[in-house]
Amino acid sequence: MQQPNSPSPGRRLLAVSDLHTGMTDNVPIAESLRPTTDDDWLIVAGDVAEKFADVERTLKLLAGRFAKVVWTPGNHELWTPRPDPVALRGPARYERLVELCRGMGVVTPEDPWPVWDGEGGPVAVAPLFTLYDYTFRTPTAATKQESLAQARAAGIVCTDEYLLHTEPYEGAEDWCRARVAATEERLAAHDPSVPLVLVNHWPLVREPTEVMTYQEFTQWCGTVLTRDWHTRFNTAAVVYGHLHIPRTTWYDGVRFEEVSIGYPREWRRRGHPKGLLRQILPYVPDEA
């Protein structure tokens, strides 16, 4: 069985993101992921693949192995690549992805938040979908337009600008604000006596992006609107991906886990320093 990065016995709440199984070399990684007990849950924090068939194949595989799979979309699932027979765009594509997941028993951001009651619980595992609104701007940009211009001048432009469509919303920032407002309302209605594991593809705070080599890319990495969610709401841990910088950090006393696999050129260079599957609960501190 696939071993997580912790020797802790018993059922586990595990997490992974950015499997990118549209890339041939990443498929064996996804196929190697297995639970360590029959009761293990798996969080999949976005960027499974781009094409519907690849997303379906990967999530179906994982849903057949883990007791429960909880998924939230990344930007890659929301792309509309030309070779994909499923040509839906924007929110319509997201809605079809939700239907796909529900048909396999995979929990989505549109479903009730399941409660994990193993060691370290009970916690409600809350998949969120917030997108980004260009408020993580470059250090010298005062507006979205200026930040985008600096990114283009540096040759650092996210593929979202070409393949992620947002209609009927005018742009990603409008879709983001709608998602944030709806999610914030749901968080506020949650029973505060049950801690949350917040799951989002994009980091909820900007600090994780500060180690990125190309700061021009940070504008596609989140929104300032979620900055205080981990302190406003009773949060046991935050799980995210997108940055392809797997690590554990702490902000305001709350643990943040970046759980991405990333592209072959990345994991070949750095390996998998945190393991393929990250154990979220029960929490076992790194030996270091």
Instruction: Report the C-alpha gap between 120 and 117 in whole angstroms.
Output: 8
Q: Please, are residues 277 and 45 in contact by the beta-carbon 8 Å criterion? A: no
Q: In this predicted structure, what is the pLDDT of residue 9?
A: 55
Q: Please, are residues 246 and 272 in contact by the beta-carbon 8 Å criterion? A: yes
Q: In this predicted structure, what is the pLDDT of residue 287?
A: 58
Q: Enumerate residues 6+ apart whose C-beta is below 8 A from 94.
A: 73, 77, 78, 129
Q: In this predicted structure, what is the pLDDT of residue 8?
A: 43
DSSP conformation letters of the chain: ----S----S--EEEEB---TTSGGGHHHHHH---SSTT-EEEE-S-S-SSHHHHHHHHHHHHTTSSEEEE---HHHHB--TT-S----HHHHHHHHHHHHHHTT-B-TTSPPPEE-STT--EEEEE------S-S--TT-SSHHHHHHHHHHHT---THHHHB--TTSSSHHHHHHHHHHHHHHHHHHS-TTS-EEEE-SS-SSSGGGGG-S-GGGGGGS--GGGTTHHHHTTEEEEEE-SS---EEEEETTEEEEE-B---HHHHHHH--TT-SSEEEES------
Instruction: Report the C-alpha gap between 176 and 286 in whole angstroms.
Output: 34
Instruction: Report the C-alpha gap between 100 and 40 in whole angstroms.
Output: 22
Q: What percent of the chain has pLDDT over 70?
A: 96
Q: In this predicted structure, what is the pLDDT of residue 139?
A: 84
- Band (2; pLDDT cuts 50, 70, 90): very low
Tens of pLDDT, residue by residue over 142-154, are 999 999 999 999 9
- Band (6; pLDDT cuts 50, 70, 90): very low
Tens of pLDDT, residue by residue over 97-133, are 999 999 999 999 999 999 999 999 999 999 999 999 9
The pTM assigned to this predicted structure is: 0.94
Look at residue 1 and tell me whether its pLDDT is greater than 90.
no
Tens of pLDDT, residue by residue over 214-246, are 999 999 999 999 999 999 999 999 999 999 999
